[in-house]
Amino acid sequence: MEKIGVIVTAGGAGRRFGGEKPKQFLELSGIPVIILTLKRMVNLPIVGQVVLTVPENYVEVAGDLLSRYNLAGITITKGGTTRRESVFNGIKALTGNFSIIAVHDGVRPFFPEGALSEGVKKLSEGYGGVILAVPLRDTVKEVKDNVVISTLDRSRLYAVQTPQLFRREALLKGHALGEKQRLDAVDDSILVELCGERVAVIPGDYKNLKITWPEDLEFAEFLFTRYFAKELL
């Protein structure tokens, strides 16, 4: 099986979450979120190398955490001001010459276990990238000044998740464009899309929560206890 390079990006400040410590270092049942994400990632047979990005002033903290939780072989690098810059730093820190690179949010500890292998399978059909997404479950309306403009066709609307997998050249091309135009990209897929690459969607999971707002941590605690504690404790 061909191994892939993985960037776990955790270089953000967590402004929407708020608080002193970036959300990736907060704990679920006593274990830092970023450690849970890495623990579920590093031992997957498909993973050849993991690069972790963290805010510059957390590089040492992250190193100590990896030692404390016996997570060996992970390269730590400093993040950037934006997610795009952090991932770009991560790409530069990958030492293996992987033809497929996955990017994953450090604050999504509950990604589906088979996501990377499913993504690799889908990429082999000739796509530049593969992303995880789930169909929107709610009715969605466009609203302006508290008045409904329209009701959208939700059958075409998906909520996007990570991991996202890319052919190396497609990701490099996307990030080169992002650097050149100083784009503030919400994900890596958009950079690859802008280069004209086709990006496929495979099923994500509603449990693949991104910890963004304070109440997400409470929900994550529930998900952890209910579904993941057995695997991780």
Ligand X SMILES: Nc1ccn([C@@H]2O[C@H](COP(=O)(O)OP(=O)(O)OP(=O)(O)O)[C@@H](O)[C@H]2O)c(=O)n1
Q: Does 186 bind ligand LQXTBERG (CB under 6 A)?
A: yes
Tally the C-alpha atoms within 13 A of residue 59's C-alpha that lie toward its C-beta: 10
Q: Give, in order, the Cα–Cα distances in Å from 187 to each of 75, 83, 132.
A: 21, 8, 12
Question: Can you tell me which of 4, 6, 10, 165 binds ligand X, judged by CB under 6 A?
Answer: 10
Among all residues, whose Cβ is closest to ligand X? Answer: 12
Q: Does 11 bind ligand X (CB under 6 A)?
A: yes
Q: Does 105 bind ligand LQXTBERG (CB under 6 A)?
A: yes
Question: Can you tell me which of 37, 77, 161, 208 binds ligand LQXTBERG, judged by CB under 6 A?
Answer: 161
Structure tokens at 157: 């609307």
Q: Does 163 bind ligand X (CB under 6 A)?
A: no
Q: Does 178 bind ligand X (CB under 6 A)?
A: no
Q: Does 106 bind ligand X (CB under 6 A)?
A: yes
Question: Can you tell me which of 4, 5, 6, 14 binds ligand X, judged by CB under 6 A?
Answer: 14
Look-up of token digits 């899309």: 193
Q: Give, in order, the Cα–Cα distances in Å from 160 to each of 22, 183, 196, 202, 206.
A: 22, 19, 19, 10, 11
Structure tokens at 46: 């498909």
Among all residues, whose Cβ is closest to ligand LQXTBERG? Answer: 187
Q: Give, in order, the Cα–Cα distances in Å from 133 to each of 29, 75, 147, 202.
A: 27, 28, 29, 6
Q: Which residues bind ligand X (CB under 6 A)?
A: 9-17, 24, 53, 79-83, 86, 105-107, 210, 212
